[in-house]
Amino acid sequence: MAFQIETASVMKLKQQISLKEDPQEILFCLFKQFNDRAAIVTSGQLSGMVQIHLAAESKLPFRVCTIDTHRLFPETYAFFDQVEERYGIEIERIQPDTTEVEKMVDEHGEYLFFDSKAKQKYCCDIRKIRPMQRLLETLDVWITGTRRDQSETRQNFQKTEIISSNTHPILKVSPLIHWTTEDVWNFVRENDVPVNPLFKPDANGHYYDSLGCMICSTRIRPGESKRAGRWRWQNATDTEENDKECGLHYAI
């Protein structure tokens, strides 16, 4: 049954989920209780794929969504088709508002993200955050693949957090918050989980650690920080404002 959760209930749920360690148990509990008012929201990266695999093993119906910025890699679009076939699911593509994108491009150009941090955040706002906000109106539980080891700025992320949509409270859950990159790769290999081919190292040993829009995501060299490949041209201006985040996990 679809319903919107109340504040007292979301606080109780937060306590319950915080006590659970096993990601599969967390996913089972959330989808059993909330059905399609819970969703794994993923860009097809490794943590999201682990969660899809665990949810599929639980044998309950589960909802998967992605924010399709219209600027994803062709390999990523093809990968989503492959994931749908493998798990017998439909990944909902949540897209930006066409009018808002056209206005932004008319005023600032297609490649505005090169101009300044502010314009990069504006582009992320139009293409990612606003679609995410619309998606949140349909959810009580947002399941995300964020992990503490992904960057300095994510080291304080919590497994559970109460956030607000425009209309109601939402429990944001990161079941893999404590997993390391090694944990994720071990799981993927041991369970034959599909991997976006872009995550495999190229001939020079360079690889994507973080994958999003084309141009704004690049491969990193061994030894570089995990998010050095995001908005690479900003690396030279390493300020507090330059947090290597699109705002999805801060602005909402």
Q: Which residues pair with 41 in a beta bridge?
A: 65
Mind giving me the DSSP string for 187-251? HHHHHT----GGGS--TTS-B-SS--BTTTB--B-TTS-TTTTBTGGGTTS--SS--S--STTTT
Residue ranges in 100-139 that form contacts with ligand SF4 under rule CB under 6 A: 113, 120, 123-124, 127-128
Instruction: Identify the burial level of 83 via C-beta atoms within 10 angstroms of its C-beta, where 0-12 means exposed, 13-18 middle and 19 or more buried.
Output: buried
Query: Closest CB to ligand SF4 among 53 and 227?
Result: 227
Residue 141 contacts ligand SF4 per CB under 6 A: no
For ligand SF4, the binding residues in 233-252 under the rule CB under 6 A are: 246
Is residue 28 a contact residue for ligand SF4 (CB under 6 A)?
no
Coil vs helix vs strand at 182: helix
- Out of 216, 220, 228, 248, name the contact with ligand SF4 by CB under 6 A: 216
Q: Cβ of residue 170: shortest distance to ligand SF4, in angstroms?
A: 22
Q: Is 123 a catalytic residue?
A: no
Residues 54 and 40 sit within 8 Å (Cβ to Cβ): no
Residue 26 or 124 having the CB closest to ligand SF4: 124
Q: What are phi and psi of 242, to 5 degrees?
A: -85, 75
The single residue among 69, 146, 151, 174 that binds ligand SF4, judged by CB under 6 A, is: 69
Quick one: which of 13, 52, 141, 213 contacts ligand SF4 (CB under 6 A)?
213
The reply on whether position 66 binds ligand SF4 by CB under 6 A is no
72 binds ligand SF4 (CB under 6 A): no
Q: How far is the CB of 109 from ligand SF4 (least distance, A)?
A: 12
CB 66 within 8 A of CB 42: yes
Between residues 3 and 114, which has the closer beta carbon with respect to ligand SF4? Answer: 114
Q: Does 151 bind ligand SF4 (CB under 6 A)?
A: no
Nearest alpha carbon to residue 177 among 199, 221, 144: 144
DSSP secondary structure, 15-38, as one string: HHHHT---HHHHHHHHHHHHGGGE
Which residues are designated catalytic? Answer: 246
Q: Which residues bind ligand SF4 (CB under 6 A)?
A: 69, 71, 113, 120, 123-124, 127-128, 212-213, 216, 246
